Amino acid sequence: MRIIQATLEHLDLLTPLFVKYREFYGALPYPDSSRAFLEKRLRRKESVIYLALADADDKLMGFCQLYPSFSSLSLKRVWILNDIYVAEDARRQLVADNLIRTAKKMAKDTHAVRMRVSTSSDNEVAQKTYESIGFKEDTEFKNYVLPISDEL
């Protein structure tokens, strides 16, 4: 497996799996809007997306997308691991681990103070993966969400 950083040239490869990720979380597919969303993030350099490709045929096995943020207290960058998804036929092959380790290296290379990730409270597989890589559950802060629209 190879991990590469996505560029605009990878949109056709990435979009179908991104749509499956959205459907997994109950969102409607909207492939055209999904592609436009990804294209905008990449064009504006508003996110970093890593792709896991199979060695044999360059088939997309999974992806992760990170957004930059900042910490006013540490005066440093923070990376938010917002999206991570592994194709069903590529699970149990350490795809997520490899994607996250690549993201962690990028966070270090950009002098970030931390990476943050959230997952549903019942997603034990993701929780174990995150903890095995070194993520710690945040027991200091409780997070809240303020809905602005009815959309996901």
Query: Which listed CATH number (1.20.1250.20, 3.40.630.30, 1.20.120.430, 3.40.50.720) goes with 2-133?
Result: 3.40.630.30
pLDDT at position 145 is 85
Give the alpha-carbon dihedral of 111, 114, 115, 117, to 10 degrees: -170
pLDDT at position 142 is 85
Model pTM score: 0.93
The tally of CA atoms less than 13 A away on the side-chain side of residue 80 is 11
Cα separation, 25 vs 98, whole angstroms: 22
pLDDT at position 141 is 86
What pLDDT digit, counting tens, does each position of 136-148 carry? 999 888 888 899 9
What pLDDT digit, counting tens, does each position of 49-90 carry? 999 999 989 899 999 999 999 999 999 999 999 999 999 999
pLDDT at position 71 is 95
Domain map (residue ranges) of the chain? 2-133
Residue 120 has pLDDT above 90, yes or no: no
Classify burial at 130, counting beta carbons within 10 Å of its beta carbon; exposed 0-12, middle 13-18, buried 19 or more. Answer: buried
Cα separation, 29 vs 26, whole angstroms: 9
Cα separation, 26 vs 152, whole angstroms: 8
113 within 8 A of 71, measured Cβ to Cβ: yes
Percent of the chain with pLDDT over 70: 99
pLDDT at position 72 is 96
Mean pLDDT of 89-117: 96
